[in-house]
Structure formats: C-alpha cells, structure tokens
Amino acid sequence: MIGPHPAPPSPGPIAASVSRLLSAPAEHGPGLAAHLAHFGPLPAPGDAGLIDPVTRAGLRGRGGAGFPTGRKIASVSAQLTGRRPTVVANGCEGEPISGKDHVLLELAPHLVFDGALAVAAALGAEEVLLCVHRGDPIVPSVRAAAAERAHDGRPVRVVEVPGRYAASEESALVNFVNTGTARPTAKPPRPFERGIDGRPTLIANVETLAHVALIARYGPDWFRSVGTADSPGTTLVTVGGGVAFPGVLEVALGTPLGTILELSGGPAEPVQALLVGGLGGGWLPFRRALDVRLDHAELRAAGAALGVAAILAVPAWVCGVTETARIATYLAGESARQCGPCMFGLPAVAGDLWALHDPREDPRTILRRLMRRLGLLPGRGACGHPDGFTRFVRGALDAFADDFRDHADGRPCPGSGHPWLSLPAAGDPTPAGWQ
Ligand SMILES: Cc1cc2nc3c(=O)[nH]c(=O)nc-3n(C[C@H](O)[C@H](O)[C@H](O)COP(=O)(O)O)c2cc1C
Ligand code: SF4
C-alpha cells in the first residue's frame, strides 16, 4: 500500500443506510485533493492483483444486468494476445427514472476514475474512456475531474454520446466511438472480444467501477461485510414518485424495499405499486413489495429485477393501463429500430395498450393479442431492450390487474388517460438521431 491510509468507512447507525461511495464530506467538494484526503491514494495491487479480490468480493455490475465484475475483467484479460485493451466507464445513465450515476459523478468522480484506472492498470489498457450523454449538465465537471487525472499514467477521455435510451448499451458505445453511430450491434463479437478500435474492451457502469476502487483499498471481506450472499455490498438507489423525499440513497443490498421507502420519508400519498430496477425492471404490487429485499435473486423470484436499483412509487390514483401504455410507447420509440422485435413488436404492443382505452374492439381480444405478441419478443434482439420491455409490460399486467380488468369490463378507472410520470421527449428516429 502506498502512503498513509484513512480507516475504511464503517456502517452508520442505521444498518440499512450505509455510506461508502457517498461517505466523503460534501462540503469539501469533489476535487482530487479532497478525495485523496478522505479515501487515501489507490494502493498498488498486492500479489493477488485486482481480478482475484474483485471476484472474491462478489461484486456484480450496477449498470442493469448484475453480471459478476471479476468474471468480466477476467474475460477481457483472457483475450489479450499482444493487443492492449480499452476500459470504458458507462456514465450515460440512459434510464429516465434513475439518477444515481449522476449523483456519483457529481459527488465522487475520482472514485469512478480510481476504479477505471485500477482496472486499466491490471489489464495494461491503453486508455480510459468515460461515456456521458451529450450536453448533460454533468459534462463540465467530469471533464474537470478527468483533467485532474492527466498524470495518472494513461489518458482519460470523456466521450459525449447521443442521449438515447439504447445508445448507452455497451455495443452501441463501442459502435459510436468506432463509427460515430450509437446503435447497438449484433453479438458476437461482444466488446470484450472486439471493441474500441478492435481491441478487447471492458465496459462497466460508473458505480461498479467506484466499488472496484473501494475493494482495491479495503479488500473483499470488508466489501462483503454488508449485503447478502447473492448480492454483497452497498448500492446506490434512486427513489422517486409518491414518496416524501425523492432522491438517491446508498443502502446495503438486502435492505427491504419497505425500509428504503421509509428512508425516503415514506409514501406521501397512497401507493398502489412499485416499479423496481428501472423501466426495464419490473412492477410489484405495493403490499407484496414491502418485505421483498433489494437482492438479485429475491427480486427475480418476486417478478422484478434489481436492474439499476431505481424504485418508483406509483400513487393509487394513477391508471396502470395508461401509464404502462405511455412508458411502452416511450421505450418503443427509443429502440434503434433495426431488429424485428423493436421494429414491429414493441410498437404493436404499445398500440394494444392504447387500444384498451378505445371501446371499438373487445378488450379481451386485445389482451389475448398483446400476450401473444409479448411471447415473441424476448431473446430476439441484438441487445436486451426487447427483454426489458417484455418484463416491464408483463409485470404491469400483474401489478395493475384491477385496472386492466376494469378496462376489459369497459369501466376505465378515474385516472385513465391522465399522464403521470414525466418522460424525456421522444428522440429523433432518423439516423441523425444516433450520431
Ligand atoms: C437498452 C440498454 C440501455 C443501457 N443503458 C445503460 C446505461 O445507460 N448505463 C449503463 O451503465 N449500462 C447500460 N446498459 C447496460 C450496458 O449494456 C452494460 O451491460 C453495462 O454498462 C455494463 O456495466 P456493469 O457490468 O458494470 O453493469 C444498457 C443496456 C441496454 C440493453
Ligand atoms: S434489439 Fe432493439 S434496441 Fe436492441 S439493437 Fe435491436 S433494434 Fe436496437
């Protein structure tokens, strides 16, 4: 270990809310000097290197799929036959109901750079790229933080990517840097095989890399000292919708969803359902959701997904059918429209959801058609977008079963037709919208 090292951040009095990533005092600012004063310098890797401690920590990616990070770094390492790889930190946060990556980049950008640079050093990578959405207000501060790392041994480059939902999928980032078009590409090859400039490329979410920086400092046992066996450590959670204090929290994985809502001030109005994981996550009926813990296996068993750990509390007055139709329309419009399910299936399902508002057709016929179409979507796209879309719509049919039944019986609820969630404006569907 190089230089004196401050003690690791320890759990606070509320076990559920644990400050690790967000433990630095905000009043000292996000600069490199304050970062080093709080966390100490990044230690030189010990004999075990980086892959072994990250694997033993059980860290899983925080960008949506929850893939084991140690295994991902090892896959890139296994591809190195004389070619130097590239490391990409994915800070786009294309998920509209998530704000955690922005908060992290604003408050602790150097933890992200520490993690990316540690992985780059372990792999012998040529450079580190940080991808963010073009024109995002965060751009000037991350550029300033990147400039502070100019003497860290390898170039750190900030790349501004078009602000589209599917443009921050990993193959889309590679495609954008290589060709200037941010559409996902068919796999194989996956980025770890052939990515930026044809090199093996490690792409990880910015929060994942910030955890790597802490594991490099404090070790895998410290990392696993909170969380569950399946999902160790802490995670940043974005809580929104009908709670008293919407915002971003850091909690131990395994914390029950009800406790997370309490940490956000509790419901500010009666709540009927939670959307957990992001728009590609899944819906849970409110009563059934409270005891479910924030853990990959538990959420999957309950019919949702941990995803990007965004939790949206949907007030009771909101019409589940209208809201599902609105979000499905947004997701269909944000696809890259280059694979069959996205070109035909997603818009058709969104159309079926809107048709449930329209008494010209028997709603049961519409629901049967919708279910048939949903069955044709998963696993058929070049990226996971149709799978997330399907999980989202299927979960809605369960969580808003009463609203769907009322629509099917020709008795739409009072909230029907009233928009609730504010969604980004539709992106430009022409090729120019992806450049
Ligand atoms: C449609 C789509 C959009 C995505 N957007 C993001 C994003 O904005 N940020 C992110 O970190 N990962 C995003 N991902 C996941 C990335 O493809 C990739 O798996 C992730 O960056 C890897 O990081 P992790 O292993 O640390 O989770 C998206 C995936 C899909 C299918
Ligand atoms: S599945 Fe959809 S979003 Fe993914 S690459 Fe194909 S068209 Fe694009």
- pLDDT by residue (tens digit) across 106-147? 999 999 999 999 999 999 999 999 999 999 999 999 999 999
Hey, is 119 helix, strand or coil? helix
Q: Are 401 and 306 in contact (CB under 8 A)?
A: no
- Among protein residues, the one with the nearest Cα to ligand 2's atom 3 is 335
User: What's the 338 CA to ligand 2 centre distance in angstroms?
Assistant: 6
Residues 252 and 228: their CA atoms lie apart, in Å, by 9
Q: Which fold has domain 26-223?
A: Rossmann fold (3.40.50)
Q: In this predicted structure, what is the pLDDT of residue 9?
A: 52
Regions of the chain with pLDDT less than 50: 1-5, 10-15
Whole-angstrom distance, CA of residue 308 vs CA of residue 199: 27
Determine which residue's CA is closest to atom 8 belonging to ligand 2: 336
CA 95 – ligand 1 centroid, Å: 9
Q: In a 3-state reduction of DSSP, which class is residue 44?
A: coil
Q: Is 82 exposed, middle or buried (CB count within 10 Å of its CB: 0-12, 13-18, 19+)?
A: exposed
Instruction: State residue 7's pLDDT score.
Output: 55
Which pair of structure tokens corresponds to residue 104? 């992290």
Nearest to 300 by CA among 15, 93, 66, 60: 66
In the chain, CATH 1.20.1440.230 covers 320-419
CA 75 from chain centre, in angstroms, equals 21
User: At 236, phi and psi to the nearest 5?
Assistant: -85, 135
Q: Which numbered atom of ligand 2 lies nearest the CA of 172?
A: 5
Q: What is the CATH code of the structural domain delimited by 320-419? A: 1.20.1440.230
CA 198 to centroid of chain Cα atoms: 26
Closest residue by CA, ligand 1 atom 18: 170
Which is the closest atom of ligand 1 to the Cα of 167?
3
- The β-bridge partners of 241 are 313
Ligand nearest to the CA of 183: 2
Q: Separation of 408 CA from ligand 2 center, angstroms?
A: 31
Identify the pLDDT of residue 16.
Answer: 59
pLDDT score for 8: 54
Q: Is 202 in the pocket of ligand 2 (CB under 6 A)?
A: no
Q: Which residues contact 351 (CB under 8 A, 6 or more apart)?
A: none
> pTM (2 decimals)?
0.93
**In contact, 104 and 111? CB cutoff 8 Å:** yes
In this structure, the residues whose C-beta lies within 6 A of any atom of ligand 1 are 61-65, 67, 72, 90, 92-95, 165-166, 168-170, 203-205, 208, 383-385
Judge whether 97 and 132 are in contact, CB under 8 Å.
no
Average pLDDT, the chain: 92
Of the candidates 394, 342, 327, the residue with the CA atom closest to the CA atom of residue 367 = 394
- CATH 3.40.50.11540 residue ranges for the chain: 26-223
The alpha carbon of residue 90 and the mean position of all alpha carbons in its chain are separated, in whole angstroms, by 10
Number of separate helices (H) and strands (E) present in the chain: 18, 9
**pLDDT value at residue 45:** 82
